[in-house]
Chain A
Amino acid sequence: MTGGSVSSSLSSLTNRVRATRFPLAAPPWPASVPRPDPERRVGLEYDHEWSRRYPVRLARAIVVDNVTRPAARLLAPPTIRGLEHLQHIDGPVIFAANHASHIDTPLLLTTLPVEFRHRTVVAAASDYFFDRTWKSVVWSFALAAIPIDRSRVNRKSSDTAAELIGDGWNLVIFPEGGRSPDGWTQPFHAASAGYLGKRTGRPVVPVYLHGTRHVLPKTGEAGAKGPGGSGTESRRGGRLRRSPIAVLFGAPMTPDEGENTRRYSDRIEAAVATLAREVQSDWWQARRSVSAADPVPGAATAHRGPEASAWRRAWALDGPPSRDRRREWPD
């Protein structure tokens, strides 16, 4: 089966699912009726402890290694750099990555070395991935996801994450708190990776995921479903598309002596931004450009894009990395 026919079949399936109406699909909730407080324990209250029991871990490992990983490789052939940083550290660690697509999590998990892959939990937005029981079950099983509150600092969320790290679980977290609306990185929340790194004393590994938004764009992404468009753009939103990606791991980071959480978080963000520049050039050029921009890593080094119109910001972002790109050596 060709890539085109796979894509076509997926589109057809997606259309069918979307066309399903009540009672086969869940009923819509009338706008005039206030939603009651959920009696079921979903969201932050969801009990996900079961997803870390051994039988479930075994089942998840089988699925991840035999289904998710091959599928991810087929759908998004990855270029992976910086794995050597993970060879000499003992877990648990905190992986702090930029976030552009829902596909980020499975792609990142499947590129982790096996000693990390099956002992990693993923911080997922409680209001999106844990708002229904069935979603909570699916994501807890498939990704070992745990619910976090992304809208504000929540003691329960951070306590849960810190306890799991204390129990030896690695944590994947997206400090932006949500997917980027246009591909450029959003400011990192200080109360995420930086805070957890300081609180637990475990290293933070910066990760940059490149090109994932081409694989599964965010629905409603600027230009994807914007009003006044040609109409063709909307076909991109929320559909899987085969495209290569790059995953870059940076050196593990620990807080400096006396460094506060905000500063530490900025440094983590800058490290991710450096990795982003590395995709365009190489390790050395990336560091040189960062030093020139801001010798003290901070907001100016962040991968936030030009302050310009939407199209120019989109223009400034490069396309998906070519897997066959060859380094050109000077003559």
Chain B
Amino acid sequence: MSRRPGFVLEVDKSAPPTWFWNGEGFSLETLPEGSRVIYAPEPIEPIKDPYRAIRDALLHPVGDRDPLPALLRPGMTLTICFDDISLPLPQMEAPDVRQMVIETVLDMAAEAGVDDVVLIAALALHRRMTEEELRHALGDRVYDAFAPSGLLTQHDAEDPSNLLYIGETDQGEEVEINKRAATSDLLVYVNINLVSMDGGHKSVATGLASYRSLRHHHNPQTMRHSKSFMDQHRSELHSSNWRMGRLIAESGVKVFQIETTLNNDTFPPNFAFLQKREWEWSLRDRATYTATSKALEKTPPRLARQIFHSIRSPHALTSVQAGEVEAVHELTTANVWAQQGVAVEGQTDILTMGLPFICPYNVNSIMNPILVACLGLGYFFNMYRGKPLVREGGVVIMRHPTRPEFHPGHHPSYIDFYEQVLTQTVDPVRMSKEFEESFATDPWYIHLYRTGHAYHGVHPFYMWYWCAHALQHVGRVIVVGGDTKAVRRLGFTPASSLDDALEMATDVVGPSPTLTHLHNPPILMSDVQ
């Protein structure tokens, strides 16, 4: 059967209840008649021979770039950078697409006799990856060849000796990136473009940058003018990165960009029901749902978290393109849209969403309340092109337990942000002025970022800025089933059930509101007309 495109269901009496994520659990909710439910397109058929496709892409680059072998020569310095643990979600089944691409690049480098090769995980201000995570992303062959001799490194945005100041853009944005990457004869960047925000000039200008550089676009003003940051042409976040990227190119840094897209086959067959339309659930799906949901009710959250994070996604490669950054990214964005785009007619008064156990910043970790806000209002809210799904002044209803739990090793500054900043203000602008710098320059957070597996001290601010557009746009945010105190701390309204939340929402949007539910997984992008 051919792949079905995305679909918008008009809920009527005959429609079955709708599936919602609820953190490390899920539920079926009955939506009011007349509601809309947006379903993602079905997975694109994967490339049958990924290694061949990757090799073809490297041999036939797009834009103003020679084939990769022609760029490689003995005696040159080659740096291969790659996306970190935040992509893809959940972690994909081995072999990871980064492994496949990097192995192919290294084969060509070996053939050309390139000796000076360094691999860098482009962390920006994210936490460092563990050996296990690196091995999963790169494969044992690559890890064992480079890590023991110190040639597999992770970008350190707080190491002045390994940062290079490139200059300022015409908008006064300072550009400072990883010195090894900037001074290499060739910088190969390996992307996984899970969503349309990823890739392009953002790869180098953000992934290899320092706080000094990142603060120019990771701020409330930029995020409020990114409508949305998933739509490059209407995103100030991208505009800033593009200015920086072009400056980097003009300074002589030669980037060979490799971007890959994956299909949205997100969960293995045992969890097939997670991404099926409810009325198509088979007997097995229903049995699995019932057994799993009942079991999860009895499972301690810590154990449930471990179970969910151990899931490996069957994501498969659907396209690979290589060459000059902007030419590559244009193709990539079209391929991402082909997989995720759904046309939707008009906005809605109320947008509902179930939030899963995972977001880009809690892989193998805990989804703390700040990340809950970021996933709902930062990511899901922004998964649109054209207009936001919810109208200005509308209501967003999210379902998530929102427990006030933090991973002390991964998110130490989040704890203080939650206790010291959110108790004072939930206004992104105010917190950026009053609190950001002290967190960003705190020596203890910097120490934990550089030597442990902690996100940078400023990272929770960025997560909050990610919500800035939504916070400015919507009239109220309601969290169903969340910890009451934690939800209030975020400045949101707690509700015990979806019915209660809908009742509360009518106070803001009036009686008989329209409702749209963003069904996930898999992730989708709404093209709102």
- With a CB–CB cut-off of 8 A, which chain B residues contact A22? 16-17, 28, 278, 281, 286
Of all chain A residues, which has the CB nearest B282? A26
Report if A23-B286 is in contact (Cβ < 8 Å); known contacts: A33-B9, A36-B1: yes
Whether B162 sits at the interface, judged by CB under 8 Å, is no
Interface pair A39/B1, CB less than 8 Å apart: yes
- With a CB–CB cut-off of 8 A, which chain B residues contact A39? 1
- With a CB–CB cut-off of 8 A, which chain A residues contact B13? 31
**Docked pose: A36 CA to B10 CA in angstroms:** 18
Interface pair A30/B12, CB less than 8 Å apart: yes
- With a CB–CB cut-off of 8 A, which chain B residues contact A33? 7, 9, 279
**Docked pose: A147 CA to B285 CA in angstroms:** 28
B14's contact among A23, A26, A28, by CB below 8 Å, is which?
A28
- With a CB–CB cut-off of 8 A, which chain A residues contact B384? none
CB distance from A251 to the nearest CB of B (A): 47
CB distance from B253 to the nearest CB of A (A): 51
CB distance from B344 to the nearest CB of A (A): 16
**Docked pose: A60 CA to B12 CA in angstroms:** 43
Report if A24-B279 is in contact (Cβ < 8 Å); known contacts: A29-B14, A32-B9: no
- With a CB–CB cut-off of 8 A, which chain B residues contact A30? 9-12, 14-16, 279
- With a CB–CB cut-off of 8 A, which chain B residues contact A330? none
- With a CB–CB cut-off of 8 A, which chain B residues contact A26? 281, 283, 286
Interface of B is mostly: mixed
- With a CB–CB cut-off of 8 A, which chain B residues contact A134? 283
CB distance from B492 to the nearest CB of A (A): 29
Interface pair B14/A31, CB less than 8 Å apart: yes
- With a CB–CB cut-off of 8 A, which chain A residues contact B279? 27-30, 33
Report if A24-B15 is in contact (Cβ < 8 Å); known contacts: A33-B279, A36-B1: no
The number of chain A residues with a CB under 8 A from chain B is 14
B28's contact among A23, A29, A36, by CB below 8 Å, is which?
A23
**Docked pose: A22 CA to B16 CA in angstroms:** 7
**Docked pose: A36 CA to B7 CA in angstroms:** 14
CB distance from B280 to the nearest CB of A (A): 8
Of all chain A residues, which has the CB nearest B288? A23
**Docked pose: A308 CA to B436 CA in angstroms:** 88
- With a CB–CB cut-off of 8 A, which chain A residues contact B256? none
- With a CB–CB cut-off of 8 A, which chain A residues contact B1? 36, 39
Whether B425 sits at the interface, judged by CB under 8 Å, is no
**Interface membership of chain B positions 174-200, coded 1 if the CB is closer than 8 angstroms to chain A and 0 otherwise:** 000000000000000000000000000
**Docked pose: A134 CA to B17 CA in angstroms:** 23
Interface pair A23/B12, CB less than 8 Å apart: no
- With a CB–CB cut-off of 8 A, which chain A residues contact B424? none
Of all chain A residues, which has the CB nearest B15? A30
**Docked pose: A134 CA to B14 CA in angstroms:** 22
Whether B290 sits at the interface, judged by CB under 8 Å, is yes
Interface pair B9/A27, CB less than 8 Å apart: no
B289's contact among A23, A28, A31, by CB below 8 Å, is which?
A23
**Interface membership of chain A positions 11-36, coded 1 if the CB is closer than 8 angstroms to chain B and 0 otherwise:** 00000000000111011111111001
**Docked pose: A228 CA to B77 CA in angstroms:** 89
- With a CB–CB cut-off of 8 A, which chain B residues contact A27? 16, 278-281, 286
Interface pair B15/A23, CB less than 8 Å apart: no
Most B C-beta atoms less than 10 A away, residue of A27, A28, A32, A39: A27
- With a CB–CB cut-off of 8 A, which chain A residues contact B9? 30, 32-33
CB under 8 Å from chain B, chain A span 36-55:
36, 39
Interface pair B286/A32, CB less than 8 Å apart: no
**Interface membership of chain B positions 271-287, coded 1 if the CB is closer than 8 angstroms to chain A and 0 otherwise:** 00000001111010010
Of all chain A residues, which has the CB nearest B13? A31
**Docked pose: A30 CA to B17 CA in angstroms:** 11
CB under 8 Å from chain A, chain B span 2-30:
7, 9-17, 28
Interface pair B10/A32, CB less than 8 Å apart: yes
**Docked pose: A290 CA to B278 CA in angstroms:** 58
CB distance from A24 to the nearest CB of B (A): 7
**Docked pose: A30 CA to B12 CA in angstroms:** 7
- With a CB–CB cut-off of 8 A, which chain A residues contact B16? 22, 27-28, 30
Report if A24-B286 is in contact (Cβ < 8 Å); known contacts: A33-B279, A39-B1: yes
- With a CB–CB cut-off of 8 A, which chain A residues contact B7? 33
CB distance from A40 to the nearest CB of B (A): 10
Of all chain A residues, which has the CB nearest B273? A23
CB distance from B18 to the nearest CB of A (A): 11
**Docked pose: A22 CA to B19 CA in angstroms:** 11
CB distance from A157 to the nearest CB of B (A): 26
CB distance from A284 to the nearest CB of B (A): 56
CB distance from B410 to the nearest CB of A (A): 35
CB distance from A34 to the nearest CB of B (A): 11
**Interface membership of chain B positions 141-167, coded 1 if the CB is closer than 8 angstroms to chain A and 0 otherwise:** 000000000000000000000000000
CB under 8 Å from chain A, chain B span 266-320:
278-281, 283, 286, 289-290
Q: Could you pull out 9 A-B pairs where Cβ atoms are within 8 angstroms?
A: A22-B16, A22-B17, A22-B278, A23-B286, A23-B290, A27-B280, A28-B14, A30-B11, A39-B1
